[in-house]
Amino acid sequence: MKKLIPVALAGIAAFAMTGCMKGADTKADTAKIADSIKAQEAAWEKGYADKDVNVLAGQYADDAALVNPGEPIATSEVDRRKALGALITDPNLKLNFATDRVLVASAGDLATSRGHYTLTMTDKATGKPVTSSGTYLTVYKKQPDGTFKAVEDAIIPGPSPAAAAK
* pLDDT digits 0-9 by tens, 117-152: 999 999 989 999 999 999 999 999 999 999 999 999
Q: Looking at the predicted structure, is the pLDDT value of residue 18 above 80?
A: no
What beta strand segments (E) does 24-86 contain? 60-67
Residue 162: predicted pLDDT: 54
Nearest CA among 146, 78, 79 for reference residue 109: 146
CA–CA dist 14, 35 (Å, integer): 37
Residue 15 above 50 pLDDT? no
Tell me: the pLDDT tens digits for 64-82? 999 998 899 999 999 999 9
Residues 6 or more apart in contact with residue 161 via CB below 8 angstroms: 100, 114, 116, 135
Give Cα 155 distance to the centre of its chain.
Answer: 13
Please report the domains of the chain, with CATH numbers, ordered by start residue: 28-165 (3.10.450.50)
pLDDT digits over 80-126, tens only?
999 999 999 999 999 999 999 999 999 999 999 999 999 999 998 99
Q: What is the amino acid identity at position 28? A: A
Quick: pLDDT tens for 42-57: 999 999 999 999 999 9
DSSP letter for 74, please: B
